[in-house]
Structure 1
Amino acid sequence: MAHLEHANITVRDAEAAAATLCDLFGWRIRWSGDAIGGGRSVHVGDDEAYLALYTPAGEVADGPSSYGLQRCLNHVGIVVDDLDASEALVRDAGFVPRSHADYEPGRRFYFDGPDGLEIEVVAYDNASAS
């Protein structure tokens, strides 16, 4: 059986993005340090999986919507126990929840988080669905 360990995402400020994700999801910084090409990486998550947030040495340019491009990350899905409490944290942090949906096996919403990273937050109806 295989499982996803991490995804590596380019952001403008890895430390700031990591701090925001820690606040929103109760995560911790697993590692941070120098990275490829003179950049910097911060690994943020839990003991099982993490996001590697990478800031290159040079400028980070905005690109078009990833949904029409091959090999691009469209969004990150985060499972939470309490969707309403998570949505309140997202709002309190200044982000705007949208695209609410309630269908089997759970409820969800999306928001554009640090550096415009689209995040889906989902709470499943039962533990066996996750």
Structure 2
Amino acid sequence: MAKLEHANINVSDAGKTAAWFGRAFGWRVRWEGSTFDGAGYTMHVGADDSYIALYEPKASKAGVERDYKTQGQLNHVGIVVDDLAAVENAIRAEGYEPHSHQDYEPGERFYFKDENGVEFEIVAYD
């Protein structure tokens, strides 16, 4: 059985994103440093067995709005939590606006976008 270890996303400020990941999800910085080619800085933020790599390139450009139709496009990142209400409160405290709340089989979820335009789905299973 294969298991997803990490995803790597471009961000404008890896430290800022890592900080709110820690406050909202209880994650920690597992590793950080310059990229092998010196073109940016990376922070690995998560738990012992999985993480999100936050890549802050020295030169970047704004992305395009997701349309759920473009091949190869990241639509959202799903994160499972134990206490959906507590995490929603933490997300709101960070200044993000949760939307699209749904109670579905087998759990509940909501979505929000961060300052990088990355959409997250937060889900809690029954």
Note if contact 1:4-1:49 (Cα within 8 Å) is conserved in structure 2: yes
Query: For residues 55 and 67 of structure 2, what CA distance do their matches in structure 1 show?
Result: 18
State the 1:109 CA deviation.
Answer: 0.4
Matched with 2:13 is: 13
| Percent identical residues | 54
Q: What is the count of residue pairs matched by the alignment?
A: 125
Matched residue, 2:30: 30
What aligned pairs does 1:36-51 form with structure 2 within 5 A after superposition? 36-37=36-37, 38-51=39-52
Normalised to the residue count of structure 2, the TM-score between the two structures is: 0.93
More helix by share: 1
Give the distance between the partners of 1:31 and 1:101, measured in 2 at CA. 35
The aligned runs of 1:1-130 (5 Å cut-off) are 1-37=1-37, 38-65=39-66, 67-125=68-126
Distance in 1 between the 2:46 and 2:20 partners? 12
How far residue 51 of structure 1 moved from its aligned partner, in angstroms, is 0.3
User: Residue type of the partner of 2:12?
Assistant: R
Structure 1: stretches of 5+ with no match in the other structure: 126-130
Alpha-carbon spacing, 1:36–1:44, altered in 2? closer, same or farther (3 Å): same
Question: Deviation at 1:101?
Answer: 0.4
User: 8 Å contact 2:66–2:73 — kept in the other structure?
Assistant: no
Distance 1:55 1:110 in 2: 23
